[in-house]
Amino acid sequence: MKVQDKSGRETLQNFLGGNGDVLLSYEYEAITANKNGEKLEYVTPDDTIKINIDIATTKNAPESATAFLDYVLGEESQQKFADWGYRPVNPTVLEANKDKFLDPVALFTIEDLGGWKKVNADLFGIEGGAIAEIEEEAGVSTAG
């Protein structure tokens, strides 16, 4: 059975339901699955990409938005994120949880690959993108 799920969580659920032999997903999905009682072995590859999920306020944001941002990035909230398998961005909390979050040997970013414009064209472009070619060979529709 060939499947193209819409999210990491959907892919994990599909995998845990017995579909597939190997799952490539986000670190937090594996940690959260284990926390929820799933017996899931996961490996952090030596070379892997760091995916940042940014958070910000707008220039004219109300004071409550800034307070929320400060709260989310603070130690108490970051520890709650760490408890659920999300790698903390707060250095103090990350250090306190370093046994849960292994450091890959080589960590790279999208910028190291030439930025989103290049990566989108080279990997995800409908015409000639490497991922599109793999999906077509697997029989998965790449129609947008």
pLDDT-derived band at 144 (thresholds 50, 70, 90) equals: low
What's at 39, amino acid-wise?
K
Q: Would the pLDDT of 125 be above 90? A: no
What's at 71, amino acid-wise?
Y
Query: CA–CA separation, 129 vs 117, rounded Å?
Result: 12
pTM of the model: 0.69
pLDDT-derived band at 6 (thresholds 50, 70, 90) equals: confident
pLDDT tens across 77-99, in order?
Answer: 999 999 988 899 999 999 999 99
Note the pLDDT of residue 74. 96
Average confidence (pLDDT) over 37-47: 88
pLDDT-derived band at 2 (thresholds 50, 70, 90) equals: low
pLDDT tens across 25-35, in order?
Answer: 888 888 888 88
For 103, residues 6+ apart whose C-beta sits below 8 A from its C-beta are none
Instruction: Output the CA–CA distances (angstroms, integers) from residue 132 to 11, 64, 79, 80, 82, in the order listed.
Output: 18, 43, 38, 37, 34
Note the pLDDT of residue 123. 87
pLDDT-derived band at 143 (thresholds 50, 70, 90) equals: low
